Amino acid sequence: MATPVKKTRRTAERILDVTLELFNRFGEPNVSTTLISAELNISTGNLYYHYPAKDLLVDRLFDRYEASLSALLKAADDVHDVEDAWLFFHMLFELIWQYRFLYRDLNDLLSKNRRTETHFQYVLKEKTQAVQRVLAGLSRGNSVRLTAPEAESVATAMVVVSTYWLSYEYVRDPRHALEPENAGAALLRGASHVLSLLAPYFEPAQKQHLLGLAQAYSKPPSPATSAPRRAAVAASTTIGRAVQ
Amino acid sequence: MATPVKKTRRTAERILDVTLELFNRFGEPNVSTTLISAELNISTGNLYYHYPAKDLLVDRLFDRYEASLSALLKAADDVHDVEDAWLFFHMLFELIWQYRFLYRDLNDLLSKNRRTETHFQYVLKEKTQAVQRVLAGLSRGNSVRLTAPEAESVATAMVVVSTYWLSYEYVRDPRHALEPENAGAALLRGASHVLSLLAPYFEPAQKQHLLGLAQAYSKPPSPATSAPRRAAVAASTTIGRAVQ
């Protein structure tokens, strides 16, 4: 039988899971604690016992995101060729997708939540350093050829495009872009666009390979069926094994 | 003496000017009609007479932005070399800066204001087409060399980076990035980064010229003193004359 401590921890986790789902679906500013407790079928008193303020839910979800991101960004060191890079940016986009509410109303969150304000700066720095390590790995693997100033400038552009790609999709089609059934295609476009910033610097064979990958994935399966396919790609590459 | 009609129109314009300033300073969600009328030293009744709802203020400001943007984007046809392109993107960034509240809480505005939702899509399309015309002009002027798929991909990246550059600056330093005294430097970094996406495609002489421009402007003067300098550059180029 579960001990009371275990049960409390399980409830706290379940609250977080449901909150993340609601934030992603409706946007954080549009989700009240009343809605969260109704969705969980618990009293608001019970919710407050675990999270005395809505901001704490945002904080804990941000912690989760930051931990997953740090783990993923470590894989930057294992990127040597275009296929590794392709997988790396796909995984990055999937993680951003899982926590898309953070990106949906980012500036609003930053102005309201002190913790997000400081930690998001750290997230951006970590992301920039990881992209720079990806570029260094690709250079060492003789996959790309770029000077130090080029690498710095391309890394910044890659970070900006990866951070705001979902916002861009949302602006272009606010009513559909961020619905789960369109996720696969949106994430694919994002990862392709981030990698295309590197296209002029890839060695000819790698550039050809990038085009091939983009074509092979250009008709993405639905999110439900794409997971095993990505898992297969992940398992077949060094970087995939490092992350799994 | 001013006729009553003229006076009414002047008041309506003055309300818009002050509202734009407040929206830019504090963010649209944080500015109430009470604050606007207090700043203008008029009664809320008088404000409502001109604009019966806050949304109408957003709509009219968006109209102004859209009209200025359309006029500016026409200049895309006059871009032939790196110096024209440099000026074009600087002017685009200055316009975005003037209406930065639209970009600060963009997703929030899109979900609340129907007019913004539809018109922002149009703005993005117009911007993308203009950037494509910039690339076509540079190609005709033998300044860049890129294939059609490269041009499409680079144009998208240029639109994403120009649309979200100020957000990126804001995330990195929420308390200072969007203060007027930092505007000059932020706009310069944005325009440089957008143009750097084209760097690998520029002809060697044009690429050298781009580096020279970036260095010449790398210590930007304060916003107050930079306007005459930009005006001088504007007057000395075809594209500048077309826009002025």
pLDDT 10s digits, B77-135: 999 999 999 999 999 999 999 999 998 878 778 878 888 888 889 999 999 999 999 99
Measure CB to CB from residue B172 to each of A29, A121, A197 and give the nearest one. Answer: A121
Reference B193, options A129, A166, A152; nearest CA is A152
Q: What is the total residue count of chain A? A: 244
* CATH architecture entry for B59-243: Orthogonal Bundle (1.10)
What is the sign, positive or negative, of the torsion defined by CA atoms of A52, A53, A54, A59?
A: negative
Tell which wins on pLDDT, A194 or A118.
Answer: A194
CA Rg value for chain B: 19
Distances in whole angstroms, Cα of residue B132 to Cα of each of A101, B95, B148: 32, 19, 10
User: Does A172 or B218 have the greater pLDDT score?
Assistant: A172
CB contact under 8 A, B174 and A199: no
Are A157 and B196 inside 8 Å of each other by CB? yes
Residue B218 has pLDDT above 60, yes or no: yes
* pTM above threshold 0.90: no
Lowest mean pLDDT of A26-30, B143-147, B227-231, name the range. Answer: B227-231
Assign domain A1-52 one CATH number from 1.10.150.120, 3.30.470.20, 1.10.3720.10, 1.10.10.60.
Answer: 1.10.10.60
Contact B129, B155 (CB under 8 A): no
Query: Does any CB of chain B come closer than 8 Å to the CB of residue A13?
Result: no
**Position A200 confidence tier, pLDDT thresholds 50, 70, 90:** very high
Q: What is the pLDDT of residues B53-88, one digit of tens each?
A: 999 999 999 999 999 999 999 999 999 999 999 999
Flag whether residue B120 sits within 8 Å of chain A, measured between CB atoms.
Answer: yes
Instruction: Give the per-residue pLDDT at A218.
Output: 67
Mean pLDDT over A211-233 rounds to 57
Q: Is the CB of residue B23 less than 8 Å away from at least one CB of chain A?
A: no
Q: Residue range B160-189: average pLDDT?
A: 87
Residue A111's pLDDT is what?
A: 77
Tokens of A218: 């250009």
Please check whether residue B179 touches A, CB under 8 A.
no
| Binary contact (A107, B111; C-beta < 8 A) | no
Q: Do A107 and B171 touch (CB under 8 A)?
A: yes
Is A48 part of the contact surface with chain B (CB cutoff 8 Å)?
no
Q: Which CATH class is domain A62-243?
A: mainly alpha
The mean per-residue pLDDT over the stretch A73-86 comes to: 94
Interface contact flag, A29 B120, Cβ < 8 Å: no
Report H helices in chain A: 4-26, 33-40, 44-50, 54-74, 82-98, 100-104, 106-112, 114-140, 148-172, 183-196, 204-216, 223-236, 238-243
Q: What is the pLDDT of residue B1?
A: 54
This model of the complex carries an ipTM of 0.84
Confidence of residue A135 (pLDDT cuts 50, 70, 90): very high
For chain A, say whether B168 makes contact (Cβ under 8 Å): yes
Nearest chain A residue to B172, by CA: A121
Residue A125: closest CA among chain B residues belongs to which residue?
A: B172
Q: Does A160 touch chain B (CB under 8 A)?
A: yes
Separation in Å, CA of B177 to nearest CA in chain A: 12
Contact call for residues A169 and A201 (beta carbons, < 8 A): no
Out of B107, B159, B174, the one facing A167 most closely (by C-beta) is B107
What number of C-beta contacts closer than 8 Å exist between A and B? 101
First to last CA, chain B: 31
State how far the Cα of B89 lies from the Cα of B71, in Å rounded to an integer: 14
Residue A214 contacts B where some CB pair is shorter than 8 Å: no
- CA nearest to A121 within chain B: B172
Interface with chain B: mutation pick from A156, A164, A169, A194, highest number of B CBs within 10 Å: A164
| Residue A153 forms contact with B (CB below 8 Å) | yes
For residue B202, the cross-strand partners are B144
DSSP-based three-state secondary structure for B177: coil
Q: Which residues contact A116 (CB under 8 A, 6 or more apart)?
A: A58, A59, A62, A102, A109, A110
Q: Rounded CA gap, B107 and B109, in Å?
A: 5
Flag whether residue A62 sits within 8 Å of chain B, measured between CB atoms: no
Q: State residue A237's pLDDT score.
A: 47
Domain ranges of chain B: 1-52, 59-243
CA neighbours closer than 13 Å in the CB half-sphere of residue A210: 24
Q: How does residue B219 score in pLDDT terms, banded at 50, 70 and 90?
A: low
- Check whether A234 has a pLDDT greater than 50: no
* B170 touching A (Cβ < 8 Å): yes
Out of A29, A107, A197, whose CB is closest to B170? Answer: A107
Among A104, A111, A159, the residue with its CB nearest the CB of B174 is A111
